[in-house]
Amino acid sequence: MIKRGKKMRSPFLYAKNLLAVVCKKIRYGKKFSAGMIQTFDHLHTEIYGKGEIRLGSYNQNRGNLYLVAQDGKLKIGDHCFFNTGCCLTAMEEIVIGDNCKFGNNLVVVDHDHNYKKDMANEFISSPIVIGNNVWVGANVTILRGTTIGDDCVIGAGSVVKGTVEPKSKIVQKR
């Protein structure tokens, strides 16, 4: 439908997304929760072990969003947008605030493989926290142990690890 030069969302799309949320709730039980109004296109969820996925309301994506909770917790606030080809994998915890926008091919991963042969654990993990009103460009990788403050901008192609102070702009020159 078109109204006053702007494209409106079809009621069919909202019904389809509501059904998808209900199906995921049935499949995963208490390990999955989401606000009832979502506009997801090709949302892929995987929950293993003690993993949990919690989604706020009014989130959307534009094709192929992968949310994986492998014994970890993945929490996404309200009004977040994920462009095509984003993947978030939590073995410990990933928390995303409200009103965040993410560009194409985002990778957020809270763990690394432990390459030291004398270590008993296969993975090393630490939480990731992304504040409110954060804008992240295309092809960005956010690594374990990262905290991004409110109102930050992360430029396309950046690799982020560590603390990013609120209202910062990060651009990595190549």
Catalytic residues: 111
**What is the DSSP pairing of strand 159-160 with strand 128-130?**
unpaired
**Pairwise CA distance, residues 16 & 13, whole Å:** 5
**Pairwise CA distance, residues 9 & 16, whole Å:** 12
**What is the DSSP pairing of strand 123-125 with strand 163-164?**
unpaired
Beta carbons within 8 Å of 68's beta carbon, 6+ residues apart? 45, 46, 47, 48, 51, 74, 87, 88, 89, 90
